Copies of this chain bind each other. A is one copy, B any other.
Amino acid sequence: MAPRFTLAIEELQALLGDRLQTAAGVRQHHAQDESFHAPAEPDAVAFVRSTSEVSEVVRICRRHHMPVVPFGTGTAMEGGVNATQGGLSVDMSLMNKILSVSAQDMDCTVQAGVTRKQLNDHLRDQGIFFPIDPGADASLGGMAATRASGTNAVRYGTMREAVLGLTVVMADGRIVKTASRARKSAAGYDLTRLFVGSEGTLGVICEITLRLHPVPEAISAAVCAFDSLEGAVNSVIETIQMGVPMARIELLDSVAIDAVNRFSNTDYPALPHLFLEFHGTHAWVEEQAETVAALATENGGRNFQWTANTEERSALWQARHDLAYAARAMRDNAKIFSTDVCVPISRLAECILATADDIKTMPIPMPIVGHVGDGNFHVVPALDTSNAAEVAAVEAFHHRLIERALQMGGTCTGEHGIGQGKKDYLEAELPAGVEVMKQIKQALDPESLMNPGKVITL
C-alpha cells in the first residue's frame, strides 16, 4: 500500500514527536478489537495526552481529509476500532489521569483513557465505587462510546445512567462540554446522551464525569444450579417482578459452565446456573437473599452455594468476566463471535429456549450467557474464521437470532454497539430512526471523518 496522508502525518509528527507512530507493529495493534471482524490498519497512530492536543490533531486531520478513529483499549466486539478506511487511530491510553473525585457528591472526572479497574483501585479507600463492569478492563471513554454495561447494570444502570457529562472534541476540532455537574438538569438537548453510544462517529470523548455509588455495607454472592434453562430464567423474571434490587443476576447455560470449568479451574455441575449478588445493609441483604433463594427453589434451583468471603466472590466474578476468553479457549486459534440481543423480560424464556433449540442444529459448541435481569444475553461461538462453511453457518444463526429478538420487541445489541457488524440490523430495528441519525451525523460531521463507516453509512 502506497503511503497516504503524508502531509497530515508530517504535521502530526511536528505536533506530537514520537507520540505519532507509523511502525507496522503499532498499526497492526490498532487494526482490530477482540471480535472476529477482519483487521484494518490505520495509516498512523497518535498517542494523545490532553483534550487540547486532541483538538489540534482533529483539526489537522480535517484539513487533510484524514479519517479519525478513536481507540480505547480495543476490547469491543463489533470492529469499531478497525480502520476500515485507513486514517489516524487516536489512542487514548496516555490520557489516563483521574482529574477529580468528590466523595461528597459521589462523582469523579477522568480522562477518557482511564480504565474501570484503574478508577476503582483509586477509589478503594474512599467508600465509593464505579459499578459498570464489562468483562474486559476497558477504558471509560470506550465504555461511554459504546454505551457499555455489564453484570450489575440491572441495579446500577448502564453508561447511559453513569455518565453525568462529557468533554468532547467535535469533527471540526471544537471542544464541547455537554453538561454541568448537577445530578439532574432540564437545560436543553441532552448532548451527553447523544455522545454516549455514538462509537466515535460524532467526536472524540476526552473527559468524562461519572456518577459513583457508596460501597454497600454488605455484599453477598451465590451460585445456584438448575435442571432446566427455563427454571433459571423464570427465577430471574420472578425476582425482578418482585422488585428485589439484585446487584447481579447472571445466567450461564451448561455449555458456558463447561467452558468456565476448563478455563477457570472451577467444578460446577454441568447444568444451567445463576450467579447472583446482593448489595445492601446486612439485614437487607439477608432478606433479599432469602426471597430469591425461595423463588429459585420453587423453580427447580438447587445446590444454592453462598460465597463466604471476598476472595471467593472475586474468583466467582472473574470466572464470569472471563467467559468470552473461556469460550475462545474451547478451540485452537478461534475468534470470538459475540452475539448480543436484548428482549423485554416477558419474552426472555421463550427467546432463550428457541435459541437453545437453534443451537442444537449448529456444528460447533455455542455457550449462552447473559445479563438476564435486563433481558440481555449473548451466544458466544468460538469461530474458526478460516472455515468458510462454519462462518456462514454462524452468520446465518446470528441472523435468525436477531430476527427473533426484533420480532419480540427487542434490540439487535444490548451493550456491544453497532460498529461495522450490525448496521443492517440497526436499519431493520429502527428504519425511520436511522434516517434521523444520518441527519445528525451529516450536521455534526459533514465530511464523515469521525470513525467513518461505523454505526451508519452516510
Contact = CB atoms under 8 A, between A and B. Distances in A.
Contacts of A406: 180
A456 interface: yes
B184 A153 contact: yes
A102 B189 contact: no
B189 A437 contact: yes
A233 to B, nearest CB: 13
A35 to B, nearest CB: 14
Contacts of A422: 187
Interface string A193-216: 110111000100000000001101
Nearest to A148: B186
B186 A197 contact: yes
Contacts of A10: none
A455 B102 contact: no
Interface stretch (A254-262, A294-302, A338-346, A353-361): A338-346
A312 interface: no
Contacts of A26: none
Interface in A151-182: 153, 157-158, 160-161, 170, 174-182
A281 interface: yes
Interface in A361-399: 374-376
A72 interface: no
Given A191-B433, A194-B193, A242-B214, A185 B344 contact: no
Contacts of A409: 180-182
A193 to B, nearest CB: 3
A23 interface: no
Interface stretch (A266-274, A329-337, A412-420): A412-420
A457 interface: no
Contacts of A414: 182, 184-186
**Identical chains bound together, number:** 2
Contacts of A455: 188-189
A178 B430 contact: yes
A284 B183 CA distance: 26
Contacts of A416: 186
A249 B213 CA distance: 18
A433 B193 CA distance: 13
A433 B185 CA distance: 14
Given A344-B105, A432-B176, A439-B443, A411 B185 contact: yes
B194 A189 contact: yes
A41 interface: no
B180 A429 contact: yes
A342 B161 CA distance: 18
A106 interface: yes
Interface string A313-334: 0000000000000000000000
B105 A345 contact: yes
A412 B213 CA distance: 25
Given A176-B436, A284-B287, A346-B102, A187 B411 contact: yes
A352 to B, nearest CB: 14
21 contacts: A102-B344, A104-B241, A104-B345, A106-B241, A158-B184, A160-B184, A176-B433, A176-B435, A185-B414, A186-B340, A186-B413, A186-B414, A187-B411, A187-B412, A189-B197, A190-B196, A191-B433, A193-B193, A283-B287, A439-B444, A440-B440
